[in-house]
């Protein structure tokens, strides 16, 4: 759902100002026959004015209204499509009942909370950039666009509240607010996203057929379902763009340092067991250790790569929400290890 929403709600920014141009003023040529001599005062310095292209012209009220309607329609269409897809992928096959809440904080090593944090942030970022394109005032587009992710995710949380398998989660709701709040805070403080939340995924396969079967049952068989549900293959990153923190350095503007979080051995919410409708144990693997993984890796902020190509700017903006594959230093189970390439 996050990917779908971001494709609808990110990457569109106002066009940059036209390249500057200089107008050289050439003094008139006076015929020698006239006997006139052009002189400047002794204490003066001749200055030829240079006219450069000014800032981008402001949008007319008609243009603002048209773009506002377009953005509103894009948000509605994108969110509706994403919700339909999410319902079919997640809620369709589960029974529903009265609205209720439950505490799911102990589950999945909090990987699902990282997912909520990331989703709210990315959706807010995409929506805010669209509202920027409409010409909306700075603080308005930060707050309206910036809190959109929390709103979108809260609607999903309400759906969880009516599902008998889950329920309204205050931990999920808090992660949603935190994700959107992270975007708003950075935008208000720096007018930039110096720390971007990113995502990476690799599909897990196992030598043990029982684990593959459990993964198919629990996380789905398709690549899209696995990316959405399989916490064993997900990594969430906080990618720090280095140049803004060291403005006088020669660090490339696109170079970032990412801190990642993942988990392994998760074949159930709190333990690796499962029962059928009659209470019979159908999966029982206490031998598989459940543990957290922490990563440190270099990264590329593709949104900082300068280009005049609109299609590339849009593509780089979308891709900047995903972690660039790179070597990583992992800390897990009390030990360090180096991964040659981490997705």
Residue 218 pLDDT more than 50? yes
Residues 168 and 114 in one domain: yes
More confident residue, 147 or 13: 147
Residue 4 pLDDT more than 50? no
Residues 206 and 341 in one domain: yes
| Residues 259/238, Cβ–Cβ less than 8 Å | yes
0.75 exceeded by the pTM?
A: yes
Residues 332 and 246 in one domain: yes
Kindly state whether residue 268 falls inside one of the protein's structural domains.
yes
Total domains in the fold of the chain: 2
Residue 194 pLDDT more than 50? yes
DSSP-derived 3-state class of residue 243:
helix
Residues 262 and 294 in one domain: yes
Kindly state whether residue 22 falls inside one of the protein's structural domains.
no
Kindly state whether residue 68 falls inside one of the protein's structural domains.
yes
| Residues 343/200, Cβ–Cβ less than 8 Å | yes
155: confidence class by pLDDT, cuts 50, 70, 90: confident
83: confidence class by pLDDT, cuts 50, 70, 90: confident
Q: Which helix (H) or strand (E) holds 70?
A: helix 61-86
So what's the pLDDT on residue 129? 92
Domain final residue pick, 152, 176, 192: 192
Angle, CA of 113, 322 and 115, to the nearest 5°: 10
- Give the mean model confidence (pLDDT) for residues 81-91: 81
Residues 201 and 185 in one domain: no
Kindly state whether residue 33 falls inside one of the protein's structural domains.
no
HSE of 271 in the Cβ direction (CA atoms, 13 Å)?
9
So what's the pLDDT on residue 93? 78
Residues 153 and 7 in one domain: yes
What is the average pLDDT value for the chain, to the nearest integer?
85
Residues 200 and 307 in one domain: yes
Residues 294 and 216 in one domain: yes
Residue 205 pLDDT more than 60? yes
- Give the mean model confidence (pLDDT) for residues 317-339: 96
| Residues 256/301, Cβ–Cβ less than 8 Å | yes
Domain final residue pick, 192, 226, 256: 192
80: confidence class by pLDDT, cuts 50, 70, 90: confident
Residues 214 and 86 in one domain: no
DSSP-derived 3-state class of residue 35:
coil
Quote the domain boundaries for residue 315: 194-343
Kindly state whether residue 78 falls inside one of the protein's structural domains.
yes
Residues 159 and 302 in one domain: no
Kindly state whether residue 64 falls inside one of the protein's structural domains.
yes
Give burial (CB, 10 Å; 0-12/13-18/19+) of 207. exposed
Residues 303 and 263 in one domain: yes
Kindly state whether residue 41 falls inside one of the protein's structural domains.
no
Q: How far apart are CA 100 and CA 81, in angstroms?
A: 26
Kindly state whether residue 18 falls inside one of the protein's structural domains.
no
Poorest-confidence range of 83-87, 149-153, 169-173? 83-87
More confident residue, 296 or 93: 296
Q: Distances from the Cα of 115 to the Cαs of 13, 103, 144, 227, 342, in angstroms?
A: 26, 17, 22, 11, 18
- Give the mean model confidence (pLDDT) for residues 273-285: 94
Residues 166 and 105 in one domain: yes
Domain final residue pick, 136, 157, 192: 192
């Amino acid at each position: 759902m996050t990917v779908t929403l971001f494709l609808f709600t990110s990457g569109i920014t106002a066009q940059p100002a036209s390249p500057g141009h200089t107008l050289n003023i050439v003094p008139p040529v006076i015929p020698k026959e006239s006997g006139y001599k052009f002189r400047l005062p002794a204490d003066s310095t001749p200055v030829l004015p240079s006219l450069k292209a000014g800032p981008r012209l402001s949008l007319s009220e008609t243009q603002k209204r048209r773009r506002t309607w377009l953005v509103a329609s894009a948000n509605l269409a994108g969110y509706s499509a994403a919700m339909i897809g999410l319902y079919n992928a997640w809620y369709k096959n589960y029974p529903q009942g009265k609205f209720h809440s439950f505490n799911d904080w102990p589950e999945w090593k909090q990987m699902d909370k990282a997912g909520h944090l990331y989703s709210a942030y990315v959706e807010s970022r995409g929506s805010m950039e669209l509202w920027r394109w409409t010409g909306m005032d700075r603080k308005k587009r930060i707050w309206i666009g910036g809190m959109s992710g929390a709103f979108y995710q809260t609607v999903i949380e309400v759906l969880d509240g009516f599902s008998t398998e889950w329920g309204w989660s205050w931990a999920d709701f808090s992660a949603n607010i935190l994700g959107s709040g992270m975007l708003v805070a950075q935008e208000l403080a720096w007018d930039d996203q110096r720390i971007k939340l990113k995502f990476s995924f690799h599909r897990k396969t196992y030598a043990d057929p029982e684990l593959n079967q459990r993964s198919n049952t629990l996380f789905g068989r398709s690549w899209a379902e696995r990316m959405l549900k399989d916490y064993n293959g997900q990594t969430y990153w906080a990618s720090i763009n280095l140049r803004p923190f060291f403005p006088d350095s020669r660090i490339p503007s696109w170079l970032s340092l990412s801190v990642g979080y993942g988990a392994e051995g998760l074949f159930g919410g709190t333990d690796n067991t499962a029962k059928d409708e009659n209470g019979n144990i159908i999966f029982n693997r206490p031998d598989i250790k459940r543990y957290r993984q922490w990563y440190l890796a270099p990264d590329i902020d593709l949104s900082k790569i300068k280009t005049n190509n609109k299609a590339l700017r849009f593509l780089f903006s979308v891709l900047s929400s995903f972690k660039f594959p790179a070597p990583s230093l992992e800390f897990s189970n009390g030990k360090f290890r180096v991964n040659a390439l981490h997705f």
